[in-house]
Amino acid sequence: MLKSLFKKARTLAGLAATSAAATLPTSPSFSNSASAPMDSPLRTKLCIIGSGPAAHTAAIYAARAELKPILFEGYMANDIAPGGQLTTTTDVENFPGFSDGILGFDLMDRCRKQSLRFGTAIFTETVSKVDLSSSPFKILTGAKTVLADSVIVATGAVARRLNFPGSGDGAGGFWNRGISACAVCDGAAPIFRNKPLAVIGGGDSAMEEATFLTKYGSKVYIIHRRDTFRASKIMQSRAISNPKIEVIWNSVVVEAYGDGERGVLGGLKVKNVLTGEVSDLKVAGLFFAIGHEPATKFLEGQLQLDPDGYIITKPGTTQTSVPGVFAAGDVQDKKYRQALLLPGKGAWQPWKLNIICKRLDLWRARANYNK
Ligand code: FAD
Ligand code: NDP
């Protein structure tokens, strides 16, 4: 019910779906024609799965190298619109060339257009299954099967949620009734206007979301389980210096309860982990900003994953455990997880070089194809 009150970037998925047919280039990049029956497999040299900066960077490189890639951008895959995590944020300020910043959605829209411009065929479908046991690799969505000589997995990551009484979406839970994992998507909803709100986390997302929410809430609490933030200094100081933000250190939420009237979130029980004391915090909104999980379930263990589910790649490359299958972006990188630059390493690395499917790998993929 109240879900509809949430103003979501997710409606963008509908737009993307409508434009899917129009996104196919006039010269299809697969051997079947666009009018081929849906059950007959499409054939391609390269299939890219995902739609964030990594997928589109790969598509741009691959299309310019005349690999004619097919890209599955997902249809609300993992509850995120095509374009990936940046569609859930406001200003992206660290991309060179945009001195005034650029909205995350606009940036991804430009990436998508650039992929199309060089001949990438984009489908607004979610890949549900792959068969990487032999070449050509098989990539399946609900409607299509693609046979590909090489595959790039760039499916990113999804926001984590906490589990405590009142946090769920079933009876007695306030998920989507005041609890969310995306402040940018949901923060402007009327139920949050001029009300106290809370964010859980101590990373850049928590800082950004808390700062963003001060536009709407009367006050924003950041609840963090430790006594220091891991967020970058600039993001921390922006948040801490905001007069509407108060940090509740060394604390965890143990329960969410309703407002007693409308069945929406009314407040939280917050426990100090040092003293064990539980206090009451009246808030109308709670936003999880506690990190992400890699979107690798559809791989069903066919690629080597680390214990947290991230795809393991050969150090310094995007090569996975299966020759001809590459991984790029947050799905294989749990350390940097930045779409853009990696300052501090001394090297200028636009588009985070380790999320880019390096030209070299693509040329290797091409060489494999030509064998
Ligand atoms: P993602 O952006 O995660 O995109 C992957 C997408 O692929 C998914 O979202 C989905 O649409 C699609 N997909 C998933 N599974 C499937 C499937 N099975 N089939 C088809 N498609 C699928 N970084 C910066 O550098 N600057 C910033 O200002 C910044 N702000 C951020 C703000 C927020 C709130 C968050 C959460 C992150 C921010 N980041 C920022 C980090 C940045 O967004 C990520 O590092 C980057 O988006 C990762 O890109 P990606 O291509 O790996 O995947
Ligand atoms: P992070 O993994 O960096 O931070 C997650 C935070 O949540 C940590 O503070 C962690 O606590 C806390 N946390 C994790 N699990 C729990 C739990 N079970 N209970 C309570 N707290 C928990 O994730 P982010 O989403 O913040 O950032 C991901 C990446 O995206 C980073 O690389 C970040 O730099 C980037 N990003 C960049 C932005 C920008 O540049 N504008 C904006 C947003 C994100 P603890 O610290 O104790 O482990």
Helix ranges restricted to H, 204-358 = 204-213, 233-240
Q: Is 46 helix (H, G, I), strand (E, B) or coil?
A: strand
What does the pLDDT read at residue 128? 97
Nearest to 259, CA basis, from 280, 232, 282:
282
- Ligand 2 center to residue 205 CA distance, Å? 6
**CA 47 from centre of chain:** 19
What does the pLDDT read at residue 342? 29
- Ligand 2 center to residue 215 CA distance, Å? 21
What does the pLDDT read at residue 328? 92
pLDDT beneath 70, residues of the chain: 1-39, 334-371
Nearest-atom index, ligand 2, CA of 202:
9
- Ligand 2 center to residue 202 CA distance, Å? 6
What does the pLDDT read at residue 166? 97
Question: Tell me: the pLDDT tens digits for 24-45?
Answer: 333 333 333 334 445 689 999 9
What does the pLDDT read at residue 92? 85
Q: Please indicate whether residue 157, judged by its CB atom, sits closer than 6 Å to ligand 1.
A: yes
Measured from CB, residues less than 6 Å from any atom of ligand 2 are 94, 162, 200-206, 208, 225-226, 230, 252, 289-292, 336-338
Of the bound ligands, which one is closest to the alpha carbon of residue 333?
1
Q: What are the b/e assignments for 4-34, b being 16+ CB within 10 Å?
A: eebebbbebbeebeeebeebbbeebbbeeee
Of the bound ligands, which one is closest to the alpha carbon of residue 251?
2
The radius of gyration of the chain from alpha carbons, rounded to an integer in Å, stands at: 22
What does the pLDDT read at residue 336? 65
Contact in structure between 351 and 53 (CB atoms under 8 Å):
yes
Those residues with Cβ within 8 angstroms of residue 117's Cβ, 6 or more apart along the chain or in another chain: none
**CA 363 from centre of chain:** 27
What does the pLDDT read at residue 327? 94
Q: Report d(CA 265, CA 338) in Å as an integer.
A: 32
Bridge partners of 311, per DSSP, are 305
What does the pLDDT read at residue 340? 57
Question: Tell me: the pLDDT tens digits for 300-320?
Answer: 989 999 988 999 999 888 899
